[in-house]
Amino acid sequence: MSLPGIPSTNNTWIIFVVFGCILIYNLVYKVTDYFSLQRNFLESSELTLYEIEKKSKERTLIFNKVDSIKKLNSSFPNDSLYLNIKIKLLKETTDELTEHEAKFDSLIQSYEVSEVKYKNEKTFLVHDLLGSIFLGIVGLVLIIFGINKLQKNQTIRDAVLYSDYLKLKVRDPFCQSCGMDLRYDNKFDNNSNYCSFCFDGKKFNHVNIEIQEFRNLIEKQLIIKGFTVKQRKSKLKEVNKLGRWIQKFDWES
Ligand SMILES: [Zn+2]
């Protein structure tokens, strides 16, 4: 049974909200990614810059060493006795300088490479981030729209179930909540599809109740009224086919 004006399912709006949440999650993920890239680069470049500074100081020291050896060499006469020693000393320090230069250059180069790589990655991430921001906004709209719809549906459902339902011309001989024959309800107001045990004229007497819990309540009433076990069983079996519960199942499916 479906009541007029009540949407039979909320699935579309639930999908809206879930999809919106995924898009927002994606945005948060991308923002974190962007900042962690920046932080990693700053941390690693700080280390490299420290190394470069250290190497540059070492280089100055080696330069000074070469200079002082050259000066020392010039102060000795150019005869065969000193020549070999002079050449050897100079060669050692210049070799040291060359080796140092090579290391220094590769350090600079690796720094430049990582900087270029960082800039490329950053550009890519910024583009990606812009796309994600756009999708995030779409996600936010979906969530707001979805929640708004869900709330609206809930309001419609409440209104129809609790008051507008009274105005329906449809009349059922059995209470659409517990299955009781309405002819035997002394307090029945002739104005709804529910008996006085279930409905007080404006709202249900047992709200937020699960069907099994409600069946237990009905069984107690049936026992009081002297129904046999067999009769009770067949009555209780029919409860989930009644309007109130069908509507609840429709809604929750
Ligand atoms: Zn009832």
Q: What is the pLDDT of residue 209?
A: 82
CA 41 to ligand 1 center in whole angstroms: 70
CA 19 to ligand 1 center in whole angstroms: 40
CA distances from 74 to 64, 86, 158, 248 (A): 15, 9, 105, 105
What is the torsion angle, in degrees rounded to the nearest 10, for the CA atoms of residue 147, residue 152, residue 153 and residue 156? 160
Asked whether the predicted pLDDT for residue 250 surpasses 60, the reply is no
Which residues are near ligand 1, the ion (C-beta closer than 5 Å)? 175, 177-178, 180, 195, 197-198
CA 4 to ligand 1 center in whole angstroms: 21
Q: Which two tokens stand for residue 179?
A: 């299955």
CA 135 to ligand 1 center in whole angstroms: 50
CA 54 to ligand 1 center in whole angstroms: 88
CA 253 to ligand 1 center in whole angstroms: 24
Give per-residue pLDDT as tens, 17-74.
999 999 999 999 999 999 999 999 999 989 888 998 998 999 899 889 888 888 877 7
On whether the CB atoms of residues 37 and 121 are closer than 8 A, the answer is yes
Distance in angstroms (rounded) separating the CA atoms of residues 159 and 16 = 24
CA 230 to ligand 1 center in whole angstroms: 20
Q: What is the pLDDT of residue 65?
A: 85
Distance in angstroms (rounded) separating the CA atoms of residues 125 and 165 = 56
CA 160 to ligand 1 center in whole angstroms: 18
Choose the most confident range, by mean pLDDT, from 27-31, 86-90, 202-206, 212-216.
27-31
CA distances from 151 to 2, 100, 158 (A): 19, 72, 10
Q: How confident is the model at residue 7 (pLDDT cuts 50, 70, 90)?
A: low
Residue-by-residue DSSP string for 101-120: HHHHHHHHHHHHHHHHHHHH
Burial class of residue 32 in the structure, from the number of CB atoms within 10 Å of its CB (0-12 exposed, 13-18 middle, 19+ buried): exposed
CA 116 to ligand 1 center in whole angstroms: 76
Contacts of 7 (CB under 8 A, 6+ apart): 153, 156
Q: pTM for the full model?
A: 0.52
CA 100 to ligand 1 center in whole angstroms: 95
Backbone angles phi, psi at 12, to 5 degrees: -55, -45
Asked whether the predicted pLDDT for residue 222 surpasses 70, the reply is yes
Q: How confident is the model at residue 1 (pLDDT cuts 50, 70, 90)?
A: very low
CA 227 to ligand 1 center in whole angstroms: 16
Give per-residue pLDDT as tens, 117-146.
999 999 999 999 999 999 999 999 999 999
CA 152 to ligand 1 center in whole angstroms: 28
- Tell the residue number behind the tokens 């590769």, with chain if given: 106
Distance in angstroms (rounded) separating the CA atoms of residues 76 and 117 = 53
CA 204 to ligand 1 center in whole angstroms: 9
What is the torsion angle, in degrees rounded to the nearest 10, for the CA atoms of residue 91, residue 93, residue 98 and residue 99? 110
Q: Which residues pair with 199 in a beta bridge?
A: 204
CA 234 to ligand 1 center in whole angstroms: 16
Distance in angstroms (rounded) separating the CA atoms of residues 206 and 198 = 7
On whether the CB atoms of residues 138 and 23 are closer than 8 A, the answer is yes
CA 3 to ligand 1 center in whole angstroms: 18
CA 212 to ligand 1 center in whole angstroms: 15
Distance in angstroms (rounded) separating the CA atoms of residues 20 and 138 = 7
Give per-residue pLDDT as tens, 141-199.
999 999 998 888 777 777 666 655 555 545 678 898 999 888 888 888 777 788 999 98
Q: Which domains does the chain have, with CATH numbers?
A: 11-167 (1.10.287.1490), 182-252 (no CATH)
